[in-house]
A and B are shown apart, each in its own frame.
Chain A
Amino acid sequence: MELRKSYFADQRKDGLHEIGQGRPRLDSPGHVTGKTAYFADRNFPGMLHLKMVRSPHHHARIRSIDISEAEKHPGVMKILTARDVPHNVYTILILIQIGPEDETVLADGKVRWKGEAVVAVLAETERAAQEAAAKVKVDYEVLPAVFDMEEALKPGAPLVNEYHGQNHYLYDSGECRKVRFGDVEAGFAEADHILEQTYQSSPIEHAPTETTGCVVAPEGNDRFTCYTNTQAMFFTLDNASIILQMPGSKLHFVGGTVGGGFGGKVDVIVEPIAILGAKFTGRPVCFIYSREEEMQISSPRAAEKVVIKDGVMKDGRIVARKVTGYTDAGAYSRHSPYGAQKGAAHYPGPYTIPNVWIDTYCVYTNRTPSSAMRGFGVTIGDFALEVQMDKLARLIGMDPLEFRFINAYRDGDMKAHRQPTEGAALIECMQEASRAANWPVAEKYMAMSSYRKGG
């Protein structure tokens, strides 16, 4: 890695003692020698293991649940169903007044995705829990399911989530988050060329080295300590408090060292049910995802579809950009309404465009609920935007890098969401990339600055 200190040197105070120094990490010797303690390294006498009975169907009504055979299985201590969960329907962002509550801790009457948690089995050993889980009988009436966002938005599509009433999130702005800036139709009318393209992605997995999980130990004083690898301690504590209808003072969360997250450990999925198990049994409880559960059950990055329509002039200026973004939330919201909204704020990318029109939708389907992942709401948008930029440049016969210089935002430029640009540095990144990759651009672009001096 090279630090190029010549850029923005007037804005930076160098010569500090600790900042700017490549000091070795204090915790790295423990990590590389396998001595660092993670949550799963804690083992308590009498610890129970929790295994989930999960839906084999994408969408089904639950006619009945029979746990009688499973209860008799040797080693089984407790079996939990929806009626054992004090506040079974929840949503993670309710803490910041984003509703409605739309997800069940344990399925109640219906399952909305394949893999949804239906019954929790607590047993003396992992094996006993697994064997007993296999003996739980759930009678399902399979319902029509919808997996494709466009299909889900059509009239008459199977309704994925009754708590929403339709297959998209309802923002205060309506069915989508909108951004309107300038007059996009006037921009298209003025443009020399118009290009409309559609981009798509499929979900990806966070693939953390350490799978999601927690270990809960009763403190003996009506409090529970939950050792967890959550990425957000109080998010988890506060949501557990709501779900379990327990005062937060009864909950103690310990974490802090996590083997990779990338956004996959922000959902509050394992902790509340494990704490509930510890409360019912009075014993420590361990609930850790297998690799298969991590891959199949934990939230992936949402699939997205992005439609971009641009109006561009022969001289390289983009004069209008219309973006419609669709985020596949799967069956439940989790953080997806936020991601779709973040996407709306991100378009039209780091470019100054006078006329912008954006709609972003959060769509419900009978797929695994998606949620936060590194680059949440932005990554797929950047893929779409930057491939589109390449196509536009070639459409007007311009060098793709030079084309970006013409449109790059600079200090003071007004963004589509009506914030003036501050601290821009796109031009300098491109100048440095031009040098590093030996991809020459015209001298006038090398003389540009994000400060708006020199062209």
Chain B
Amino acid sequence: MAIRRGRGVAAINYPTGMNLGGDPTQALVHSTPTGNFMVTLSSVDLGQGMKQIMAQICAETIGVPTDRVIVDTADTDTGPHCMGTFASRGTHRAGNAVIQAAREARQVMLEVAAEELEVNASDLETDGQGNVLVKGAPQKSISIFDVALSAHFKRGRSISGRGMFLIPRSYPEKETGAMKPSTCYAHACTVAEVEVDDETGEVTVLNVKNVFEIGRALNPKMVEQQLVGGSWMGISHALYETTEPYYPNRDHGGTDFNQYLMPGPGDLAETEIIVLERPSADGPFGAKGPGEMCANPQIPAVANAVFDAVGVRIDTLPITPERILRALKAQAAG
């Protein structure tokens, strides 16, 4: 009887969005009288940071700092349509809609600034700090604060824009299944190292090396929080979680977190995250959806590592100590 060590690898891809069901999201952007920008959406922030990302996308597109942007999500009286926050689509779909709306608003902003500066709008640029400058002559400038005041109180312009992202629904061809399920794919490869106690069947994940390719890390810190959390969920899925330990028997279902197992702080694997960026042609600044993909490769990587450690295959999730011990027993008998 011994503690045995093994490692396993898995590589995956993941689609962004849900073309097989119709996938629209709309956004509105408008400026307040003092040159702050309001993004109006019906997308939901599930805790992943949708609002922050939309603020950064809007800010980058218009050319203002992120803290000049307010995001109003999910009031159906004020927000335009969004299919919803799921299918790794939030950043990709809503982000594209926000870019389109923000571009339109930026154009009006530059037109008003051009009138104030008595130049052509095409000769203007933003400095990202809250000012509009004449290209090549940055001393000739106007603050966005003053542009907005002019638009609202003098020139009667609405600095606003409308945005929409829609990919026509794909209907699979009946016989061949030819279809366009998604527009871009995120990628990942995970190597997991485990220890398996062949006396108790217990698995300890020592470390996971996760490489994720996500198109573009729009906010690397928030990407990190999502990828680390997802990796934890993947390990939890592999080794712990089940609503029915003896599926399909409906008995013994958990009713609270005392009965439903998930890894606690003491069970956390050493987690390394590496991010590659291959910008998606249709993604906002190249971003793909990492939200779901990041919880998948750990599951088979852990399963393969368990085999590497003790030489038994557990092809049913979750990989419980009981299943490992039964497999070891069968192996010894065989």
Contact = CB atoms under 8 A, between A and B. Distances in A.
Instruction: Report whether chain A binds chain B.
Output: yes
Interface of A: 1-5, 7-8, 11-13, 16-27, 31, 58, 93, 96, 98, 114, 147-149, 172-174, 177-181, 197-205, 207, 230-235, 237, 251-263, 265-266, 291-292, 295-296, 300, 303, 328, 338, 341-342, 344-346, 349-350, 358, 365, 367-368, 372, 374-376, 378-380, 382-387, 389-391, 400-401, 404, 408-409, 416-419, 422-426, 428-430, 432-433, 436-437, 439, 450
Nearest to B315: A199
Contact of B177 (A17, A178, A378): A178
A173 B174 contact: yes
B176 A418 contact: yes
B178 A8 contact: no
Contacts of B242: 202-204
B101 interface: no
Given A429-B189, A432-B274, A205 B248 contact: no
A185 to B, nearest CB: 16
B278 A22 contact: no
Contacts of A235: 83-84
Given A25-B49, A203-B247, A204-B243, A256 B75 contact: yes
Contacts of B211: 429-430, 432-433, 436
B250 to A, nearest CB: 6
Contacts of A350: 11-13, 185, 187
A200 B317 CA distance: 6
A1 B227 contact: yes
Given A1-B273, A27-B51, A383-B303, 12 more contacts: A23-B221, A58-B250, A199-B315, A252-B77, A291-B257, A292-B255, A374-B291, A379-B296, A382-B296, A400-B304, A418-B178, A423-B278
Contact of A425 (B74, B187, B223, B247): B187
B191 A439 contact: yes
A12 B11 contact: no
10 contacts: A2-B274, A23-B66, A96-B21, A174-B174, A202-B245, A203-B242, A256-B45, A374-B233, A426-B11, A430-B11
B161 interface: no
Interface string B305-330: 00100000101111000000000000
B32 interface: no
Contacts of A251: 76
Interface residues of B, number: 130
A300 B317 CA distance: 14
B179 A345 contact: yes
Interface in B245-300: 245, 247-250, 253-257, 260, 262, 272-281, 285-286, 291-293, 295-297, 299-300
B213 interface: yes
Contacts of B318: 202
B131 interface: no
A266 B87 CA distance: 11
B112 interface: no
A202 B317 contact: yes
A386 B216 contact: no
A368 B243 CA distance: 11
Contact of B315 (A197, A263, A419, A423): A197
A375 B295 contact: yes
Contact of B172 (A27, A177, A198, A382): A177
B274 to A, nearest CB: 5
